[in-house]
Amino acid sequence: MLDDDLDGKLFVIKDARSALEHQPLAVARLKQLLNRIQRHHRGAAAVVLVSETLHIPPQIEAQITLLPLPLPRGEEIVEQIGRVCRECDLLVPESLQQRLQAACSGLSQEEIRSALAMVRLQHEQINDAALALIQREKEQIIAKSGVLEMLRVNASAADIGGLENLKQWLERRAQIFRRLGEAREARVQAPKGVLIAGMPGCGKSLTAKAAAGLFQLPLLRLDIGSLLGKYVGESEHNMRRALTMAESVSPCILWIDELEKAFVGMTSGSGSEVSSRLFGYFLTWMQEKTGAVFVIATANNVAALPPELLRKGRFDEVFYVGFPNAIERGAILDIQLRGETLELDDEQRRQLVSQCRDYAGADIQNAINEARETAFLADRALTFSDLEAAIDSTVPLRETLREQVAEYEEIFEKLKLKPASRCDGLSVAQMIQMAESANALRREEVARNEDCPDDLLEKLALDPVGEIRNAVYRNPNCPERVLTLRINIDEGAAGFDRELLHLACLHPHAPQDLLASRFQWLALKPDQRRQLAVKSSHESLLRQLLHDEDTEVRVALAHNRHLGIDGQRQLGKDTEDAVRLALAGNPLLSGELQSLLSRDPSGEVRATLARLPTLGEKAQLNLGQTTISTSCLRWRLATLMRNCQRRCRWS
Residues that bind ligand ADP (CB under 6 A): 160-163, 200-206, 298, 324, 332, 335, 361-362, 365
The residue sitting closest to ligand ADP, measured at its beta carbon, is 361
Min CB(204)–ligand ADP separation in Å: 3
Q: What secondary structure letter does DSSP report for 317?
A: E
Strand 219-223 and strand 148-151: the pairing is antiparallel
Give CA–CA dist 435/459, Å, rounded.
Answer: 8
Least Å from the CB of residue 321 to ligand ADP? 6
Distance of closest approach, residue 219 Cβ to ligand ADP, in angstroms: 14
| Nearest-angstrom CA–CA distance, 532 and 538 | 10
Report the distance separating Cα 180 and Cα 186, nearest Å. Answer: 10
Distance (Å, rounded) from C-alpha 231 to C-alpha 636?
A: 95
Report the nearest approach of ligand ADP to the CB of residue 331 (Å).
Answer: 7
User: CB atoms < 10 A from the CB of 540, how many?
Assistant: 13
- Of 161 and 567, the one with the shorter C-beta distance to ligand ADP is 161
CA-CA distance, 594 to 15, in Å (whole number)? 97
Nearest to ligand ADP of 221, 530 (CB atom): 221
Least distance CB 369 / ligand ADP (angstroms): 9
The stretches of 21-108 forming alpha helices (DSSP H) are: 24-40, 74-88, 97-104
Estimate to the nearest angstrom the gap between the alpha carbon of 491 and the chain centroid. Answer: 44
Q: How near is the Cβ of 257 to ligand ADP at its closest, in Å?
A: 8
Minimum gap (Å) between residue 328 Cβ and ligand ADP = 6
Cβ proximity to ligand ADP: between 211 and 332 the closer is 332
Whether residue 324 is preceded by a cis peptide bond, meaning omega within 30 degrees of 0, is no
Nearer to ligand ADP, 207 or 608 (CB): 207
Residue 479 CB, nearest approach to ligand ADP (Å): 24
Q: Which residues have C-beta within 8 Å of that of residue 349, sequence separation ≥ 6?
A: 330, 333
Helix (H, G, I), strand (E, B) or coil at 254: strand
In this complex, which beta carbon is closest to ligand ADP, that of residue 20 or of residue 211?
211
Helix (H, G, I), strand (E, B) or coil at 461: coil
Phi-psi region of 100 (alpha: psi -120 to 50; beta: other; left: phi over 0): alpha
161 φ, ψ to 5°?
Answer: -85, 125
Q: Which is nearer to ligand ADP, 258 or 444 (CB)?
A: 258
- In terms of CB distance, is 205 or 598 closer to ligand ADP? 205
Give exposure, 458-491, as e/b (b: 16+ Cβ within 10 Å): ebbbebeeeebbbbbbebebbbeebbeebbeeee
CB of 167 to ligand ADP, least distance (A): 10
Instruction: Kindly tell me which of 130 and 397 has the beta carbon lying closer to ligand ADP.
Output: 397
Q: Which is nearer to ligand ADP, 300 or 622 (CB)?
A: 300
Closer of 57 and 324 to ligand ADP (Cβ)? 324
Which CB atom, from 215 or from 473, has the smaller least distance to ligand ADP? 215
Q: Pick between residue 203 and residue 306 the one whose CB is nearest to ligand ADP.
A: 203
Helix axes 109-122, 128-144, angle to 10 degrees: 140
Shortest reach from residue 356's CB to ligand ADP, in Å: 12
The distance of closest approach from Cβ of residue 201 to ligand ADP in the complex, given in angstroms and rounded to an integer, is 5
* Single-letter amino acid, residue 466: G
User: What backbone phi and psi angles, to 5 degrees, belong to 413?
Assistant: -65, -40
Tell me whether strands 293-299 and 317-321 are parallel, antiparallel or unpaired: unpaired
Minimum distance from residue 318 beta carbon to ligand ADP (Å): 15
Residue 422 beta carbon to ligand ADP: minimum distance, rounded to whole angstroms: 13
Check if the beta carbon of residue 421 is closer than 8 Å to that of residue 325.
yes
> Please, which residue, 72 or 203, has the CB nearer to ligand ADP?
203
In the bound complex, what is the minimum distance in angstroms from residue 367's beta carbon to ligand ADP?
Answer: 11
- From CA 583, how far away is CA 594, in angstroms rounded? 9
* Smallest separation, CB 220 to ligand ADP (Å): 17
Q: Give the whole-angstrom CA distance, residue 342 versus residue 355.
A: 18
Cβ 203 to ligand ADP, closest distance in Å?
A: 3
According to the 3-state scheme, what is the secondary structure of 341-401? CCCCCHHHHHHHHHHCCCCCHHHHHHHHHHHHHHHHHCCCCCCHHHHHHHHHHCCCHHHHC
SS3 523: coil
Stated length of the chain: 651
Q: Which is nearer to ligand ADP, 331 or 581 (CB)?
A: 331
Contact 34, 46 (CB under 8 A): no
Q: In the complex with ligand ADP, which residue's Cβ is closer, 203 or 218? A: 203
Q: Among candidates 218, 247, 105, which has minimal Cα distance to 115? A: 105
* Exposure class string for 236-270: b at 16+ Cβ within 10 A, else e: bbbbbbbbbbbbbbbbbbbbbbbbbbbbeebbeee
Angle made by CA atoms 282, 288, 290, in degrees to the nearest 5: 115
Q: Cβ closer to ligand ADP: 164 or 444?
A: 164
Instruction: Measure the CA–CA gap between 568 and 82, rounded to whole angstroms.
Output: 94
